[in-house]
Amino acid sequence: MAALQLSTAYLGAPLVTLNPSYSPRELARALKHVGAGTLLIVPSLRGSDYTAHLRAILPSLATPPQSEGQELQDEALPLLKRIILVDNISGRPAGWEATSLLAREAKGFDEAKSRLNGWASDYKEVLRRGEEEGETLAGLQMDMDEVVNLQLTSGTTGVSHRQLSAQLIATDTLCITGA
């Protein structure tokens, strides 16, 4: 998570962590609320199957893309263009299956990914492609006033609202400078 947050900060893209117990409707509302263009998500956690959540809220996932690298286009979430699936199923310690719905059902990562009909990229493959193409964070400058973390919180209202955080990166130290 720390590497992901640092990477998105350098790219100038706010990282929005979402409540893992969101229903499909709540997930759709949160993604629309923040204007998500890229979604990094695990296939399942605890009793939630996020591949099923995504299929429920994005009808376009029912049909495979027409070409490699095609961006997602769905009226339900018009700004969402990419889904990156992070493998939290393979290579886990014994006993971990109890914490993942898909693992309990003996479903593997490849099967979970296939449920999204070619619309999701494997996080490890995205990293590999970046390395092969020589893409690194080296040389990128980070604006100290840039919002890099966006927290959704319902507080006492039950309705999500945004909490912005600006962060300062200084010699390998991450310091929160705003709330």
Which residues have C-beta within 8 Å of that of residue 10, sequence separation ≥ 6?
A: 137, 140, 142
Rg (CA), the chain: 17
Percent of the chain with pLDDT over 90: 30
Give the tokens for residue 37: 């263009």
In a domain, 149, yes or no: no
User: What CATH code is carried by the domain that includes residue 81?
Assistant: 3.40.50
Look at 26 and 173; give whichever has higher pLDDT: 26
Provide the pLDDT confidence category of residue 64 given band limits of 50, 70 and 90: very high
Q: pLDDT tens for residues 158-174? A: 555 444 444 433 333 33
- Which residue has 């593997």 as its token pair? 108
In a domain, 159, yes or no: no
Q: pLDDT tens for residues 97-116? A: 666 777 777 788 899 999 99
Which residues have C-beta within 8 Å of that of residue 123, sequence separation ≥ 6?
A: 40, 84, 85, 86, 87
In a domain, 71, yes or no: yes
In a domain, 66, yes or no: yes
- pLDDT surpassing 70 at residue 90: yes
Query: Structural domain of residue 109, as residue ranges?
Result: 2-141
Burial of 7 (0-12, 13-18, 19+ CB in 10 A): middle
In a domain, 20, yes or no: yes
For residues 96 and 81, what is the distance between their CA atoms, to the nearest angstrom? Answer: 32
In a domain, 134, yes or no: yes
The per-residue pLDDT for 61 is: 96
Report field, pTM of the whole predicted structure over 0.85? no
Look at 147 and 68; give whichever has higher pLDDT: 68
- pLDDT surpassing 90 at residue 155: no
The per-residue pLDDT for 120 is: 94
In a domain, 155, yes or no: no
Give whole-number Cα distances, 5 to 62, 75, 79, 85, 116, in Å: 31, 28, 21, 16, 25
Say how many domains are in the chain: 1
The per-residue pLDDT for 178 is: 34
Give whole-number Cα distances, 10 to 147, 158, 168, 175, in Å: 11, 32, 11, 14
Highest mean pLDDT of the ranges 4-8, 40-44, 100-104: 40-44
Candidates 30, 66, 22; CA nearest to 48 is: 22
The per-residue pLDDT for 67 is: 93
In a domain, 147, yes or no: no
